Chain A
Amino acid sequence: MLVVLSMIVFALLYLMPGDPARSLIGARPVSPELLASIRAEYHLDDPIWEQYLRWVTGFLHGDLGTSIKTGLPVSQMIQGRAEVTLQLAVLAGLVSAAIGIPAGVIAAHRQGSALDRGINATAVAMLSAPSFALGLLSLYVFAVWLGWFPVYGLGDGGTLDLLWHLFLPVMTLAAGVLASIIKVTRIAMIREVNSDYTGFSRSRGLRESKITRAQVGNAALPIVTSTGLVLATLVSGTVLVEVTFAIGGLGSLLAEAVTFKDVPVVQAVTLLLAVAICTTTAVVDTLVIVLDPRLRRRRRRKSRNVTTLAGAEA
């Protein structure tokens, strides 16, 4: 899949109008010889397949290439930025799940109440608000008006200072995902809350906490599956958040590289993000197997069948 993705991205960039060599020079007079010399340095006149092969060979040998814009090794450019984006996305994912799932459960339990309507309305608002607008709003309220958080950057201090600087960007990034998780959890939980087993459990006098635990367990499958899908959108959401809070991460680097047609950088960042999304999906799939007893049983039965068949053949 990653190979196909790298090919598609490479081809799309190749088809995009523009010449990175011209961008390096800017709107200044340039002789055809000098322009040709710069193009040759970055192999821009080579056929597309040759350019792709050169990139793949380098990639397989751990060389991500050299940025056309900065002339620096791509691995060096993405090193620090990947860490920032990862921190941003992981924290936003954790916050989304930690707030979204309980909020959805509470809303389902109090279906139709003012609290349910409040949670729903907040979720709709968070889902509808563009992240840059939400980012600016939180900047004005929490950084300017209340003065609780810094306006931009990641600070120069330790872990606590970093977390303090990341708070607003993380909350901004988490907002949309959090809202989706609330909606999904609420719907999944309402089905459980209104189910017959909930009624029977209550009539038999089971503790409410025990019933809720059973409901959450049964609703876990759709919640985890949907959460996995929406978490993947966190990665694409980092672009605007990084720009608003002046945090140099992979998102802003990718946007800049696409505009400049800086092929080696775009290729590396795209693949890195694809790997992150694949990893998230794999983790979610594993969690689904762990959470769903039917799938566990089916896997166990399948392996038992294989063992039996193998025994029979022997």
Chain B
Amino acid sequence: MSARSPRQARKTLLAIAVSAMATALLAVTGCTTGQAPAGGGSSAPGAPLESLKVATASQLGTLSVNQEAGIANYQIAALFQEGLLGLDNAGALVPALAESWTQTDNKVWKFQIRKDVKFSDGTPVTVEDILFSVEVARDPKKSPGVSVYWPTNITSVKQTGDWEITFTLDAPNNAFGSDVSNAGGLFVTSKAFYEKAKSYGSATDLIVGTGPYTVTEFDPTSHVSLAKNENYWGTNDGPATVRIDFITDDATRQVAFQQGQADVALGVPLDQSEQWGASGATVQFYGDRSYQGLTFDPNVAPFNDIHVRNAIAMAVDKSGIVAGILKGKAAAATGIDSPEQLAPLVGLDAAKAGVAKLPGASFSLENAKAELAKSSHADGFTTALTYPTGYPAVGKASLAIADSLSKIGITVNVKEVTLDSWLNDLGNGKAGLEWMIYLPTTSIPNEISSWLLAASGPGANPANWTDDKLAAQVAAINSIDDKQKQFDEIMATTSVALEQSIYVPVYWGQAALATRKGVVANDFGSYTLQTNWAAAFTQSA
């Protein structure tokens, strides 16, 4: 037998020890070695970046929002495709392919189309292209992702002038402007391109649009690259090129960001913001307008008893969930539509003041127990609560709620299910207690409550709730022009649902982004990602 080699063995052990020490050291300090920052350019403060590199937590299967309408699809498409209208940074509707618009009784909507606009491939935009894009968007077979945004009561869509399109509805709809925006249901493309494309939205058929950028490369396995659209009708102060890398794993995205391989990281996990803020990076939070709350089906026992619903509402410690689970990076919800969603109506401060006045049960286990004693289930009962995979904070909130309810005699079996399964069970009439998680894309002030409060019976709302008077009141909001009056009505209708404990709002979410040292996100708010958001990032001082 040959001689032993203790030297080699020592080397192996040393390598293991070095690796372990390195990991420990990195874990403690969050230290990184510097690489050249991804964004180039001079160092003038506030100057635009020459290039912007973004690391995002999402992955796109297709560029077509018509097909895949995830929030990331909307955000990326906002850079290269437009609707008739768009959103500004405050969520207000602004002209896009339509340079102006008028409406009569919220039923007849006329859009004056911008002349001399070209697609990114240099071909001129015609009214026919827009009408074709509308037709595609309304077709559920061609556009399963966005056709849901289109009202079913459109009686006609016509070209009514050389550069005018008129939509006629058979009932008032003051939110129709949002439906024809690229935050809602319209993404205009060239008819010739669409018909020629073998697989619209794929890497081989890069979508032709009219936005401030044009897609230069798309690899669904890794990234999408964009460059300034030379044919853009407006002004684009953003970087010349944008590259968005899909890095779904949080730890890998963090390492890549801290290594200087991205200027900006989107989807920073809220509970890890401190680690992301190391090495001079800045983490910024903004309300993402999402609603997370409990829904009761009042047709399912024991939730048909208002005392049971009240008792549960009283046992939900919203402030505790926000402080303990979300580390303060959310707001305890007192209503359904978030203040940021309602802000375009009355301003953020007035919206916050308005939702703060809404009726709702205060957290008190003592009161909850007393309320349950009044019900037909005074001794408690057992129920189930499911939450979808990919929403860990909702899962933790479910466990916190289950813990509180166990103290008043209600046993809640919390179960994680796939997103697909959770969506399928929404309002299925079998589960009496469910989560509602809703992330609006449009700036329609009552995008969420218009569905939750559409109390015209089973199937009309996720609670399968019937209240004809309320349903009529909610429908009437669509015809109100006065913004303050519209806001007051949204508050009034929301109050009815909260008084009856049909819904228990838990929290309005926040999202976080990180910018590397030397890059700043200017005036980044709840609607920025629906606009030309690449231009919001500039060099800092």
A residues in contact (CB < 8 Å) with B:
16-34, 37-38, 40-41, 67, 69-73, 76-77, 80-81, 84, 109-110, 113-115, 117-119, 122, 125, 136-137, 139-141, 143-145, 147, 151-154, 193, 208, 243-249, 256, 259-261
Contact = CB atoms under 8 A, between A and B. Distances in A.
A140 B12 contact: no
A242 to B, nearest CB: 9
Contact of A208 (B2, B246, B252, B436): B2
B148 A248 contact: no
A76 B202 contact: yes
A222 B33 CA distance: 46
A56 B261 CA distance: 45
B12 A118 contact: yes
A140 B9 contact: no
B2 A110 contact: yes
B76 interface: no
A84 B19 contact: no
Contact of B423 (A18, A144, A152, A244): A18
Nearest to B25: A145
Nearest to A208: B2
A22 B425 CA distance: 10
Given A24-B144, A84-B221, A114-B9, A140 B26 contact: yes
A151 B256 contact: yes
Interface in B136-159: 140-141, 144-145, 147-148, 152
Interface of B: 1-2, 4-6, 8-10, 12-13, 16, 18-19, 22-23, 25-26, 32-33, 35, 59, 61-62, 64, 67-70, 140-141, 144-145, 147-148, 152, 199-202, 204, 219-223, 245-249, 251-253, 255-256, 258-259, 261, 389, 417-421, 423-426, 436-438, 451, 454, 459, 461
B33 A17 contact: no
Given A18-B420, A71-B67, A80-B221, A151 B140 contact: no
Contacts of B245: 152-153, 246
A21 to B, nearest CB: 7
29 contacts: A17-B421, A18-B423, A19-B423, A23-B420, A26-B423, A29-B148, A29-B461, A31-B152, A71-B62, A80-B219, A80-B221, A109-B2, A110-B1, A110-B2, A114-B5, A114-B10, A115-B6, A139-B252, A140-B26, A141-B22, A143-B259, A144-B258, A151-B255, A152-B256, A246-B222, A246-B246, A247-B221, A247-B222, A260-B420
A99 to B, nearest CB: 13
Nearest to B204: A76
Judged by DSSP, the binding face of A is: helix
The 10 closest A-B pairs by CB, nearest first: A248-B221, A18-B420, A113-B4, A70-B61, A118-B9, A114-B9, A71-B67, A70-B62, A29-B451, A37-B140
Given A70-B62, A246-B246, A259-B420, A28 B219 contact: no
Nearest to B12: A118
Contacts of B5: 110, 113-115
Contact of B252 (A67, A154, A246): A246
A147 B33 contact: yes
B4 A115 contact: yes
Contact of A145 (B2, B22, B35, B417): B22
Contacts of B425: 17
A60 to B, nearest CB: 22
A244 B308 CA distance: 45
A114 B4 contact: yes
A232 to B, nearest CB: 24
B252 A34 contact: no
Contacts of A141: 18-19, 22-23
B13 A70 contact: no
A70 B12 CA distance: 48
A37 B141 CA distance: 7
Contact of A38 (B1, B62, B140, B247): B140
Contacts of A137: 19, 23
B83 to A, nearest CB: 17
Given A77-B61, A145-B25, 19 more contacts: A16-B421, A17-B417, A19-B424, A22-B426, A24-B68, A29-B451, A34-B147, A37-B141, A38-B144, A71-B201, A76-B202, A113-B4, A114-B4, A119-B12, A144-B255, A145-B33, A153-B222, A256-B61, A259-B389
B4 A261 contact: no
Contacts of A32: 459
A166 to B, nearest CB: 13
Contacts of A28: 148, 438, 451
Contacts of B69: 24-26
Contact of A18 (B9, B199, B424): B424
Given A76-B199, A248-B221, A29 B454 contact: yes
B66 to A, nearest CB: 8
Contacts of A243: 248-249
A115 B423 contact: no
Given A18-B418, A34-B147, A37-B141, A115 B9 contact: yes
Contacts of B437: 27
A70 B221 contact: no
B33 A144 contact: yes
A39 B476 CA distance: 32
A96 B355 CA distance: 61
A295 to B, nearest CB: 31
Contacts of B221: 80-81, 84, 247-249
B535 to A, nearest CB: 25
A117 B9 contact: yes
Given A29-B454, A151-B252, A244-B252, A144 B259 contact: yes
